[in-house]
Copies of this chain bind each other. A is one copy, B any other.
Amino acid sequence: MPNVAHFFEGVEKLLEICFDESSSPNGDLRNITRGEWENLLCHVKCEIISYIKNDSIDAFLLSESSMFVSKRRWILKTCGTTTPLKCLEQLLQLAKLEGYHVISDIFYSRKNFTRPEIQMSPHEGFFEEVTYLDTIFPEGRSYCLGSINLECWYLYTFSKPELKALPHLIVEEKSTDADPDQTIEILMQDLDKDIMSAFTKSKFTTGREVTAYSGIDKILPEMHIDDFLFDPCGYSMNGIRENGEYMTIHITPEEKFSYVSFESNVALNNYTKLISQVIKTFKPGKFIVTIFANKSSLAYETMKELEIEYSTLSNWRRTDMQCCNFPSYNLLFAQYSRALEKVL
């Protein structure tokens, strides 16, 4: 056996595509069959391990993270060395069969990898990812938030209403009367050792046990939860509500490369309490918060002020804060580390 230190890249690649109304009366992304999804996920190099649904949303737990499917929106979040961009063309073909010819929004985002050199093409670097996306979507725009030589977060998003490789698919700027939409992500590293030790098979047998023990079930208590504890360690959960809200948490507990991600589209006009509860649950040494909100969202006008408030009221030191105005979304990016780490 070669003497290679054990490592797992917890940092996820997050891909979200929203379509305009279907041209077919029964068009719905949830008509896509389990077999078709399994086939599509082969390109990503991951598998479905569990599944829950309600009238608004289907939630798949994957061998590497999660997939959420609602009528017009598809979200794929995968960690490790998966290759989510490789399933894009197949996704667009499947969507077209459901009458989805018009894309309203695309977001591809991720934090900088801890070990970028182990990723596979087209994920060997953000420029390679952008080049790949540009072969499918012309005129996408790519951003790097945070310090590009230190910790950062990459985003690729659309701005122009046309498609190069798939000429029958049209991309349009979302109108201002779109449904309210918001997404919060909290990406945590250097987590508390004792808390992380719970997310192992040596301590618990099932996901359900550790969900309750850790307090994950109290973060957004209304959620119907599907959880999974990996062997020997690692944890994933999806939660869904009837109104289409979801949450998802993925945990890489190993001390040397601990990583926890929290994501939800829950509609709040103040994310301060939610952030506090997530941070108290996992006790990271540093974390990034991103909040997307469209013009119809409760969070749109207030998120900047709320963020400032959070920083003032807590013991965290905000090392970076940026916001971006996109055609239909505002984005807030903020990075925190323990105030104690401040070097004099």
Contact = CB atoms under 8 A, between A and B. Distances in A.
A340 interface: no
Interface string A104-142: 000000000000000000000011001000100000111
Interface string A301-327: 000000000000000001111111100
A81 interface: no
A340 to B, nearest CB: 15
This chain's copy number in the assembly: 2
A343 B141 contact: no
Nearest to A127: B149
Given A148-B143, A344-B161, A322 B321 contact: no
A262 to B, nearest CB: 23
16 contacts: A130-B148, A134-B149, A141-B320, A142-B147, A142-B148, A143-B147, A144-B144, A144-B148, A159-B319, A161-B344, A318-B325, A320-B324, A320-B325, A321-B325, A322-B323, A322-B325
A188 to B, nearest CB: 21
A150 interface: yes
Contacts of A146: 143
Interface of A: 126-127, 130, 134, 140-144, 146-150, 159-162, 318-325, 343-344
Contacts of A147: 141-143
A160 B212 CA distance: 41
Contacts of A320: 141, 324-325
A322 B319 contact: no
A15 to B, nearest CB: 18
Contacts of A143: 144, 146-148, 322
A116 to B, nearest CB: 14
Nearest to A162: B343
Contacts of A142: 147-149
A105 to B, nearest CB: 16
A159 B142 CA distance: 25
Contacts of A318: 325
A150 B344 CA distance: 39
A325 B141 CA distance: 22
A127 B126 CA distance: 14
Nearest to A331: B322
A126 B318 CA distance: 25
A143 B322 CA distance: 10
A144 B142 CA distance: 10
A140 B126 CA distance: 22
A324 B332 CA distance: 10
A293 B116 CA distance: 36
Contacts of A144: 143-144, 148
A130 B159 contact: no
Nearest to A344: B161
Contacts of A127: 149
A161 B146 CA distance: 19
A343 B148 contact: no
Most B CB contacts (10 A, CB to CB) among A127, A148, A320 go to A148
A168 B321 CA distance: 31
